[in-house]
Chain A
Amino acid sequence: NAGVTQTPKFRVLKTGQSMTLLCAQDMNHEYMYWYRQDPGMGLRLIHYSVGEGTTAKGEVPDGYNVSRLKKQNFLLGLESAAPSQTSVYFCASSYNPGVEQFFGPGTRLTVL
């Protein structure tokens, strides 16, 4: 099992550009999450999904959109990147909300 994988690992964008981060899991988990990790702020939830075709807002959703067209994939989109979105983005998944979450290796995004 690959677990949770994220693509790409690194990316540099200019302000105003758009991009999509891909998260894939092969554990047949229902729940998937996108977090961002910033120095001094800890990890914060951006959006999450409780199953295929569903999405919901987390703690810091502004400037991001998500889609869960397939159970194994969870996409995070930035329509118009801003320097404030420079961060490390982590995807996670879990079988249900009461059990442990498994995290991907992260995507380091820099917006100039």
Chain B
Amino acid sequence: KQEVTQIPAALSVPEGENLVLNCSFTDSAIYNLQWFRQDPGKGLTSLLLIQSSQREQTSGRLNASLDKSSGRSTLYIAASQPGDSATYLCAVKPGGSEKLVFGKGTKLTVNP
């Protein structure tokens, strides 16, 4: 059974700092991996999708990497801003499955 873990559960950093959020998964047979952002009381916003054949994806100040063999993904946020404060969720789509398996998220606080 695929399990997704995100460590740490919460992270607080000063504005301007570069940071890395971690995601690990137990079964390397994945179809893709998706990073989401969730603001309090809101829905999920898709940030980046990495297909199993890809190593990384970039969007603006965000860079996500995927190491399928080791079961790890990282989300790198450059020059963090208070507006980046949110919960970041990692989700994998197991091969042959329709569902996404989600981690429990990392709550990020960027202090001005």
Tally B residues with Cβ within 8 Å of A.
Answer: 23
CB atoms of B103 and A42 under 8 A apart: yes
B99 CB contact (under 8 Å) in A40, A59, A102, A103:
A59
Residues of the A chain whose Cβ atoms lie less than 8 Å from the Cβ of B105: 42
- From known contacts A42-B103, A56-B98, infer whether A99 and B45 are also in contact, taking CB-CB under 8 Å: no
Mostly, the B contact residues are strand
- From known contacts A48-B98, A48-B99, A100-B49, infer whether A105 and B93 are also in contact, taking CB-CB under 8 Å: no
CB atoms of A98 and B99 under 8 A apart: no
CB atoms of A98 and B98 under 8 A apart: no
* B88 within 8 A of partner (CB): no
- Interface 0/1 of A1-42, CB less than 8 Å to B: 000100000000000000000000000000101000000111
Please give the residue numbers on chain B whose beta carbons come within 8 Å of chain A beta carbons, in ascending order.
4, 31-32, 34, 36, 41-46, 49, 51, 89, 91, 93, 98-100, 102-105
